[in-house]
Structure 1
Amino acid sequence: MDLFDASGKPISVGRKLGSGGEGDVYEVTTIGNDLVAKVYHVPLSLDRQEKLRSMVQRCDARLKNVATWPMVTLHVGINGPVRGFLMPKVVGYEPIHKLYSPAHRKQLFPKADWAFLVNTARNVAAAFDAIHTHGHVIGDVNQGNVVVANNSVIKLIDCDSFQIAANGKLYPCEVGVPHFTPPELQSLRSFHDTRRTTNHDNFGLAILCFHLLFMGRHPFSGIYSGREEMPIERAIQSFRFAFGKGSSHKGMAPPPNSVTLEIIPSQVADLFERAFGESGAHSDGRPKAREWVGLLDYLKHNLRSCGQEPAHKYFGGLAGCPWCMLEQQSGIVFFIGAITTVTGRTSFNLTAVWQRIMSVQLPSELPIIKPSSFQATPNPLPKKMQNTRVKAFLQRACATTIVIVLVVLLATIKVPSIATVAGFTAAFFLFVAGFDDSENSSERTARKKALTEAERKWREVERRWKTELGNALFKMTYPRSMYQS
């Protein structure tokens, strides 16, 4: 495929760098190393072509600084239909969820402390503000369209999906991720005809900031006290902010070993309350991106270092280091410390990390599950079987009565032998008939089978309880001296 820019200049693409659902990304080394080309798999609709032209026309330095914004349209043939665009190249960045996830952060951002996370959240808010200031809306806010470098600089990617307003026309964003979709849009099956607003974006912005400040936790993922299931989507729709002031009234509580709003200034905590509460669903009810920038800057400039662990940064308004307290309570290490050598370089503090590993307490033994702790629901015998049991009892009782009467008569008066034989014969067959269990055998077989299956399932549950939640795996991977006296 021969590609040209809007002026008719041929554009040669090189090595493929990546591929997505809509198109491929290529090197364009003939132009420079700071640009890449996105080429769509299939021809674009006229509306989509107009949208890309409008984005290119409105590209400026501020947008290029925060996003992989389309800079030049690519055409099939000179003055042909738009089939792609040139955009800034992003190198040395990782998806933002690999920063706010404690496990990934230790691998990819080992030097990142809480100050780094606060500054990253501030930069995300600044990027949102840049988009909103230009009159656009991101729409599909999610953890996959924000990337971050090792200096906390972020970039917004997949900008061609943004909602763009240009020349009196609105080019909508037709996609979205449920975990970042605000309550008022949760019931929609499609965003095709939905006009997104900056207030909708501000909900997703608050989710990203919460992820960054609170160790990857989702604000609507908590412990629900109700009986039914409470997936995140439903919790969002019903405003069940698990970490908020009124969470208990909505049957929610933060998960165990969670970082709570108590570690941040009340002004920043109020931003989350406003973003996730009912009032936020009203027009412009949520904090704007610029407000987040201001208060996160305030938090950033009021951090202090822990006297025990320099890797711990926390809000200076607190009485003590919350990270030390959390590590002592949970055994979870959120940040990796470093030591400074005589050369001034920093290196991994193996001794400190090993001490933390050794301080992890052995999990308590699992309680024994007793079948008696569960309430069984009885399954009564069928009505027909109950009647059969009564009939059998009466038959045996009648046979016994006949035998007793015959014995008494034989002992007191002379009874003809034929009558005696007939009586005993009748009593015998009547008694035997009382033990005929043919009608009950199928029911008994079914119940024995059900009992066997229930016992098998119980043994399986018991096995999983011990292997998945017990101490066996912990003892296999932990120093033996830690759990043997």
Structure 2
Amino acid sequence: MRTRRLHTPGGRPVDIVVDQEIGSGAEGVVYPVADSPHVCAKIYSDFDRSAASGPRLDALTALEPVTWGGDCPEHLHVAWPRTTLRDGKGQLRGVVVPRIEGTPLLRLLDAGARIELLDEPTWRTTFAIAARLGRLFDMLHGAGIVIGDVSPANVLVDRHGHVTLLDCDGVQFTDPATGTRFAGEKFTPEYGAPEALDVKGLTREHDLFGLGVVICQLMMEGEHPFGGVSTAVPPSTSVEENIKRRNNRLTHPDRLVPMADSISAEILPPKVRDLIQQCFEDGYDDPLLRPSGRAWSHVLEQASFELMGCRYNPRHAYHRSAPECIWCARIAGGFGDHFPPPADWVPPPGARPLPLVPVETAGAVMTRPPVTYPAPPWPYPRMPFVPVPAAPPAPAPRSSRKQALRIVVWAVAVVLAICLLIAIFGH
């Protein structure tokens, strides 16, 4: 094991295991830290640039999110930098960040990968992931943080669907100690708000546009709402150009060339569609109208309780506003099963095999072996209507019966009294 020793600003030595790379990117390489399984070190590739970032990173490690926990003891909401790392000359070389287990959210947009990476690879889990992502954005915005580089590649998801934000060293914030504003360093154009594509400087509303895009991708099985070829002449083919021209597959399906296996926005709960309208239409010209992370989280959590279970596949779930199972409908249409049942699932007696066709995901063809479970007839047969017999009338309360008896007795007494008077005075 080959190590390199760096030091924290306080002089504490940190040994970096440089021959066991965890990951790499445009900014640097992530390595393990010797004898510290819960943290790792991000070492920057551009030493000159990292040296100039010293004040930013020192301020970043003193912000509120450094103390945040997570949804459970094994989870953290953010992989926030804990401290900076410097060499023997005092030059900044990297940061220490928590070591998080999980997979990039980007991979979960692939139906085949999702089956292997989640304990419960269902649409219901997708709602939970999206709701947690909205809550995380709301927490960061409440702490005065602008994420900037919104992308499913920068979000880690564990097997239970808990989410963690990565690459937090590039966020935009203001140092509360000095009042210095450190601008966001970059953003991913495919998730950038229309105003951010033309001007510099990122805002909370920029994050909310990207959040809407990521949530739509989660809900729509990886389909980017602005992805595709436009119907305009000449057509636009890039996501960035479609964002500029408001070519959205969910709110303006007529502006993009339809795809045979595209999923209709009608599968989404009505309140989710309302938020999409606010984000991409109302909020296109007025960014302040875009729904907050809290709004997304609230609506998605509520909608998850309104999902129905499918009688043909234990992993199929669909919103109660749909007349039947939307995933069975796609199977019947020849588009394969994005949520196949567990391998050990035993189909009901009398089930017949349903061959599955290849599923197109992320530009690659994934073929699954046929599984045996009830082939859903289409349309589904309806159960015959059986009228419910009317319930017998409830017995009158005891007090009512006594009152009626008193009235009868008094009526009889009055009649007898009248008859007696007639008999006496009639003679």
TM over 0.5: yes
Partner Cα separation in structure 2 for residue 263 and residue 111 of structure 1 = 20
Shift of 1:33: 1.2
State yes or no: 1:125 paired with 2:131: no
State yes or no: 1:266 paired with 2:280: no
Decide which moves more: 202-211 or 325-334: 325-334
SS in 1 for 2:140: helix
| Aligned counterpart for 2:340 among listed residues 321, 330, 336 | 336
Shift of 1:63: 6.6
State yes or no: 1:9 paired with 2:19: no
Decide which moves more: 312-321 or 207-216: 312-321
State yes or no: 1:103 paired with 2:112: yes
Shift of 1:226: 2.6
Shift of 1:164: 2.2
| Aligned counterpart for 1:161 among listed residues 157, 170, 181 | 170
Q: Contact between 2:43 and 2:95, CA under 8 Å: does it hold in 1?
A: yes
Shift of 1:278: 5.2
SS in 1 for 2:275: helix
Partner Cα separation in structure 2 for residue 354 and residue 107 of structure 1 = 26
Paired position in structure 2 for 1:394: none
Q: 1:273 to 1:355 in 2, by over 3 A?
A: same
The residue identity in structure 2 corresponding to 1:224 is: S
Partner Cα separation in structure 2 for residue 292 and residue 258 of structure 1 = 23
| Aligned counterpart for 1:277 among listed residues 259, 275, 281 | 281
TM-score, normalised to structure 2, is: 0.74
Shift of 1:326: 1.6
TM-score, normalised to structure 1, is: 0.65
Q: Contact between 2:81 and 2:96, CA under 8 Å: does it hold in 1?
A: yes
Paired position in structure 1 for 2:353: 355
Q: Contact between 1:147 and 1:157, CA under 8 Å: does it hold in 2?
A: yes
Paired position in structure 2 for 1:209: 215
Q: 1:121 to 1:353 in 2, by over 3 A?
A: farther
Shift of 1:338: 2.0
SS in 2 for 1:34: strand
Q: Contact between 2:6 and 2:14, CA under 8 Å: does it hold in 1?
A: yes
Shift of 1:353: 12
Partner Cα separation in structure 2 for residue 239 and residue 230 of structure 1 = 11
SS in 1 for 2:84: strand
State yes or no: 1:72 paired with 2:76: no
Partner Cα separation in structure 2 for residue 45 and residue 312 of structure 1 = 48
Shift of 1:61: 3.2
Written as runs of structure 1 = structure 2, the 5 A alignment for 1:230-241 is 230-231=236-237, 232-241=239-248
Partner Cα separation in structure 2 for residue 237 and residue 169 of structure 1 = 32
Paired position in structure 1 for 2:188: 177
Paired position in structure 2 for 1:242: 249
Paired position in structure 2 for 1:444: none
The residue identity in structure 2 corresponding to 1:82 is: L
Q: Contact between 1:37 and 1:87, CA under 8 Å: does it hold in 2?
A: yes
Q: Contact between 1:333 and 1:356, CA under 8 Å: does it hold in 2?
A: no
More helix by share: 1
Q: Structure 1: give runs of 5+ residues left out of the alignment.
A: 189-193, 340-345, 362-476, 479-485
Q: Contact between 1:63 and 1:131, CA under 8 Å: does it hold in 2?
A: no
Q: Contact between 1:43 and 1:83, CA under 8 Å: does it hold in 2?
A: no
State yes or no: 1:257 paired with 2:264: no
Paired position in structure 1 for 2:206: 200
Structure showing greater Rg: 1
Partner Cα separation in structure 2 for residue 348 and residue 335 of structure 1 = 16
Shift of 1:117: 0.8
SS in 1 for 2:22: strand
Q: 1:55 to 1:178 in 2, by over 3 A?
A: same
Shift of 1:88: 0.6
SS in 2 for 1:209: helix
Decide which moves more: 58-67 or 266-275: 58-67
Partner Cα separation in structure 2 for residue 354 and residue 145 of structure 1 = 43
Paired position in structure 1 for 2:414: none
Q: Contact between 1:95 and 1:146, CA under 8 Å: does it hold in 2?
A: yes
SS in 2 for 1:202: helix
Partner Cα separation in structure 1 for residue 303 and residue 183 of structure 2 = 35
Partner Cα separation in structure 2 for residue 253 and residue 16 of structure 1 = 43
Partner Cα separation in structure 2 for residue 352 and residue 182 of structure 1 = 52
Partner Cα separation in structure 2 for residue 247 and residue 290 of structure 1 = 27
| Aligned counterpart for 1:313 among listed residues 297, 311, 317 | 317
State yes or no: 1:114 paired with 2:128: no
Shift of 1:109: 3.9
Q: 1:89 to 1:48 in 2, by over 3 A?
A: same
The residue identity in structure 1 corresponding to 2:11 is: G
Shift of 1:22: 2.1
Shift of 1:43: 3.9
State yes or no: 1:24 paired with 2:24: no
Paired position in structure 1 for 2:56: 51
| Aligned counterpart for 1:325 among listed residues 315, 324, 329 | 329
SS in 2 for 1:338: coil
Shift of 1:110: 7.5
Instruction: Determine what percentage of the aligned residue pairs are the same residue.
Output: 26
Partner Cα separation in structure 2 for residue 352 and residue 302 of structure 1 = 30
Q: Contact between 1:221 and 1:254, CA under 8 Å: does it hold in 2?
A: no
| Aligned counterpart for 2:154 among listed residues 145, 149, 155 | 145
Paired position in structure 1 for 2:233: 227
Query: RMSD of the alignment, in Å?
Result: 2.9
Written as runs of structure 1 = structure 2, the 5 A alignment for 1:290-439 is 290-338=294-342, 346=344, 355-357=353-355, 360=357
Q: Contact between 1:241 and 1:277, CA under 8 Å: does it hold in 2?
A: no
Q: Contact between 1:44 and 1:82, CA under 8 Å: does it hold in 2?
A: no
Q: Structure 2: give runs of 5+ residues left out of the alignment.
A: 71-75, 359-368, 371-427
Paired position in structure 1 for 2:97: 87
Q: Contact between 1:239 and 1:278, CA under 8 Å: does it hold in 2?
A: no
